[in-house]
Structure 1
């Protein structure tokens, strides 16, 4: 009888039915708006949000005043209107200190969980935007599950003279801070500077030079210091400098590249402290040979290569390619001291063989071979290298002569014997302490005599180590791209006498790249816009930035 009222009644009934079917959780979300009551600063939700904001800021190398950026505030409000960002002072002081404390606790627990030896790297860095120098100390070790662990321990301000005595004091304080005894330090990787080497000797720390630095010195002595090479490099720098200084010239060169159907690329500028940057510079010039010739036909160029020099560039690149390949390999986070002897052996073999590409550079190649031999002289006699190579299932004893094989094998057996004796000394003390007094053998009794007889069978432990070593060496090596730690993880029960030594010697890197990467991050933190950061704040930021992934993997 009332059609309009009936339609309105059905409409209201449908809306009520829809509200009944809507989940309560969705209703709560629709009522949430920017006027909602904010979380309490001490609430779990607010503290969790602040912690994640701090993690984002530190991992992204951002300044703390980003929390006052209106766009950043709007972003977080969009996801949760009830969360309020704290000020930059709180983030940079209280928040960072709490985060640093938690990350440090995580690193300490990881170091305590593993009783294996620790390998360290160290370096000194000076800022370009602030009168600040930092001394680094990074740690690397293999945990009981044969997983490689790495952490930054320090990036301390180093205001004193960079003398060996000052360095020794610094390293002693650093190790005491982390309660790392000297006996647990397997090796310290450092550069070839005389003060660093002297500090390690005076501090009684086992040490090795960085392989990348030694390779740099060998290439400079054997190749880059030769007159014909220096002339080519100087000409290349002049050509690239012409385009760097003139955007108009670069645009014209790009047009030539496009006309020739080449990819538009910029030249690589070399850096005197990195030999591979000179390699990349010559490579980029050779790639643009046709484009340079076409550009030079219509425009002025301050220098150019002769046909003979272009041929020399090709030969130089061919000679340096294995060195570049090796540099990339040893700069990997998984590279170890076991790679040094096999890599140097391969380089010597490459440089000693004649090849068609040697025409015009035979003298340079011979000088390079002499420089590599001189710079890496005696590495086979260094146990930190030789034992690491022997314990790496990719190499074993395949890189040694018969005499060196026997010598290295004896060194390892002596090491295993010493470990076996130390274990035997500790084991009876621990077991006797737990035995009831009435069960302990009385001095002069028959039981004590039997105990002495059983102790005389100790050489059986060495025999076990010898048999395991023989079996290990008799098996074929694994593939070059295989993971040696995965091998030991799978075979640690089978070669139980070798695992402790493998865990120690394979923990050592072959370069101090970890410290250099740390300082690359430091230059991002201490930049021109944040040049007034204190050394304490820089160290805290570096520590959290590098070690926070250890916390996140736990979560």
Structure 2
């Protein structure tokens, strides 16, 4: 059938390569308004030479062929006509149908995203961020972006295997060593420019580690580096090495790396260090949070660590006992300052989960300090501020004449109740604190902020002081996260950012859940 069709004369669009016309007796197109598909023989209306129906037909019935065609750029007149007409069923379906993963269009777009990840050195998780996926959808709604696992385990390794730049560098280094008669075993360090192709050589070892993990059927986890500013990172590093010891031994079991294989003595020392650090690491991880109250738990945690968890036992080895004693002495020295102790005691007493509860040796002193702070917060213990507020409210009410209305019993008794003597603020503060401490502590997993929100009517003075102390962070980890966010924003490629722009970007990044765009 394709042989019998005749092409349309004087056309430039590649679409016409797949369509023709029924010939007349002279061998010319019989009807220029009715094209015929060379692939399936279906007839398509093409009035006034418009090719939109042709592309719509290919997208609906031959999508793989349509994906290889260049993008459609309609003329100004065609765009105007297309904007005023209703889409056909086939064309509307073609605009929302997703590309097949085997189509050329999908492969080209995926390769472009892979190049972006590699060349711009951005994290693989970028492809799963809502803003990035929304951006791609704005460009092409038919493209479905693969997940980060595909790019990290398939797309990037495929791109690497097609280049082999790391293999070339490794071979060049070996040739240089041979040329200078240097023993590769004695090589301690090579200084590089940290280029991506140099770093790719270490990627081979990570691949070997993943292969060994699969063969040994152990968790496929990466190794962890110690970070001085991250609490508990040293214990996580040691614990991960112990977990991956069989795989590490298999990866290092070659001529050049056998001397790096940890011995049984090394493993024994790491196990003792991990046993001493792990209990404390669990507490420090919890105290490093920022979305819940932490400062009030410091005194209970310190008491538990020094008197139970880190207390040397008869079963401990000398090394483990020394580590525990050293950790206890460091903690005691860190929290020794008197001003810090007073702040922690107040926070612990104001937490309804503890209410001081034998964690403070100077409970009476802490209570007196809280009462004085309540009086200083609103000024004076004679109730002067309350009287001034009442007087201001009374003057405000007399300034505007109230509307005439029938008096109620409450109006008649109001004058007598307002003239009663006000209770001194010191007495009210002392009464609130006494009632608060007499109540039973709430569940240890309950939210103290929610409790104060629900009970601020019962304890109006204490609740204001509680809000002041409950917002303190127990560790510097939250502030470190802010600096990390700033470091991710102020990169060498964005070194021209002004300080106020950095402040805005850091604030938006750290408060994205509370901002609206």
- Give the TM-score range, shorter chain: 0.5 to 0.7
Q: Distance in 1 between matches of 2:135 and 2:515?
A: 30
Quote the residue 1:433 is aligned against. 395
Q: Secondary structure at the match of 2:336?
A: coil
Q: Deviations over 1:59-90 (max 9, x none)?
A: x999xxx99x9966534899xxxxxxxxxxxx
| Aligned match for 1:360, one of 315, 319, 323 | 319
Q: Deviations over 1:234-280 (max 9, x none)?
A: xxx9xxxxx99644444444443333222333221223444533222
Q: Distance in 2 between matches of 1:382 and 1:330?
A: 17
Q: Do the aligned partners of 1:318 and 1:357 also contact (CA within 8 Å) in 2?
A: no
Q: Secondary structure at the match of 2:232?
A: helix
Do the aligned partners of residues 390 and 380 (structure 1) sit closer, same or farther apart at CA in structure 2, a change above 3 Å counting? farther
Does the alignment pair 1:340 with 2:298?
yes
Q: Distance in 2 between matches of 1:526 and 1:343?
A: 37
Quote the residue 2:246 is aligned against. 290
Q: Distance in 2 between matches of 1:475 and 1:412?
A: 18
Q: Secondary structure at the match of 1:322?
A: helix
Quote the residue 2:342 is aligned against. 383
Quote the residue 2:385 is aligned against. 423
Q: Do the aligned partners of 2:312 and 2:321 also contact (CA within 8 Å) in 1?
A: no
Q: Distance in 2 between matches of 1:372 and 1:514?
A: 20
Q: Distance in 2 between matches of 1:246 and 1:273?
A: 25
| Aligned match for 1:308, one of 265, 271, 274 | 265
Q: Deviations over 1:476-517 (max 9, x none)?
A: 212222100111122222223322111222122223444332
Q: Which has the higher contact order (CA 8 A, sep 6+)?
A: 1
Does the alignment pair 1:270 with 2:226?
yes
Q: Distance in 2 between matches of 1:463 and 1:70?
A: 62
Does the alignment pair 1:395 with 2:395?
no
Quote the residue 2:475 is aligned against. 511
Q: Do the aligned partners of 2:310 and 2:324 also contact (CA within 8 Å) in 1?
A: yes
Instruction: For residue 282 of structure 1, report the CA deviation from its aligned partner.
Output: 1.0
Q: Deviations over 1:443-463 (max 9, x none)?
A: xxxxxxx99x966x643x433
For this pair of structures, how many residues does the alignment match? 321
Q: Distance in 1 between matches of 2:510 and 2:370?
A: 35
Q: Distance in 2 between matches of 1:536 and 1:501?
A: 33
Q: Distance in 1 between matches of 2:86 and 2:435?
A: 66
Does the alignment pair 1:406 with 2:360?
no
Instruction: For residue 387 of structure 1, report the CA deviation from its aligned partner.
Output: 1.4
Q: Distance in 2 between matches of 1:291 and 1:70?
A: 41
Q: Do the aligned partners of 1:270 and 1:277 also contact (CA within 8 Å) in 2?
A: yes
Quote the residue 2:139 is aligned against. 74
Instruction: For residue 431 of structure 1, report the CA deviation from its aligned partner.
Output: 3.6
Does the alignment pair 1:372 with 2:334?
no
Q: Distance in 2 between matches of 1:550 and 1:295?
A: 47
Map 1:38-117 → 2, pairs under 5 A: 74-75=139-140
Q: Do the aligned partners of 1:390 and 1:397 also contact (CA within 8 Å) in 2?
A: yes
Q: Secondary structure at the match of 1:360?
A: helix
Q: Distance in 2 between matches of 1:529 and 1:373?
A: 44
Q: Which moved more, 1:381-390 or 1:293-302?
A: 293-302
Q: Do the aligned partners of 1:271 and 1:277 also contact (CA within 8 Å) in 2?
A: yes
Q: Distance in 2 between matches of 1:70 and 1:271?
A: 35
Does the alignment pair 1:258 with 2:214?
yes
Map 1:489-500 → 2, pairs under 5 A: 489-500=453-464
Do the aligned partners of residues 302 and 247 (structure 1) sit closer, same or farther apart at CA in structure 2, a change above 3 Å counting? farther
Q: Do the aligned partners of 1:341 and 1:379 also contact (CA within 8 Å) in 2?
A: no
Q: Which moved more, 1:264-273 or 1:309-318?
A: 264-273
Q: Which structure shows the bigger proportion of residues in strand conformation?
A: 1
Quote the residue 1:501 is aligned against. 465
Q: Do the aligned partners of 2:231 and 2:285 also contact (CA within 8 Å) in 1?
A: no
Q: Distance in 2 between matches of 1:541 and 1:292?
A: 41
User: How does the TM-score come out when normalised to structure 1?
Assistant: 0.49
Do the aligned partners of residues 535 and 317 (structure 1) sit closer, same or farther apart at CA in structure 2, a change above 3 Å counting? same
Q: Distance in 1 between matches of 2:273 and 2:218?
A: 24
Q: Do the aligned partners of 2:296 and 2:351 also contact (CA within 8 Å) in 1?
A: yes
Quote the residue 1:550 is aligned against. 514
Q: Deviations over 1:328-366 (max 9, x none)?
A: 212212234222222222221222242634453212221
Instruction: For residue 294 of structure 1, report the CA deviation from its aligned partner.
Output: 4.4
Q: Distance in 2 between matches of 1:545 and 1:330?
A: 22
Q: Secondary structure at the match of 1:271?
A: coil
Q: Distance in 2 between matches of 1:474 and 1:512?
A: 34
Do the aligned partners of residues 70 and 520 (structure 1) sit closer, same or farther apart at CA in structure 2, a change above 3 Å counting? closer
Q: Distance in 2 between matches of 1:417 and 1:29?
A: 73
| Aligned match for 1:327, one of 276, 279, 284 | 284
Quote the residue 1:463 is aligned against. 427
Instruction: For residue 543 of structure 1, report the CA deviation from its aligned partner.
Output: 3.4
User: How does the TM-score come out when normalised to structure 2?
Assistant: 0.52
Quote the residue 1:522 is aligned against. 486
Quote the residue 2:162 is aligned against. none
Q: Secondary structure at the match of 1:510?
A: coil
Q: 5+ unaligned residues in a row in structure 2: which ranges?
A: 1-83, 93-124, 144-188, 190-198, 400-415
Do the aligned partners of residues 358 and 489 (structure 1) sit closer, same or farther apart at CA in structure 2, a change above 3 Å counting? farther
Do the aligned partners of residues 262 and 549 (structure 1) sit closer, same or farther apart at CA in structure 2, a change above 3 Å counting? closer
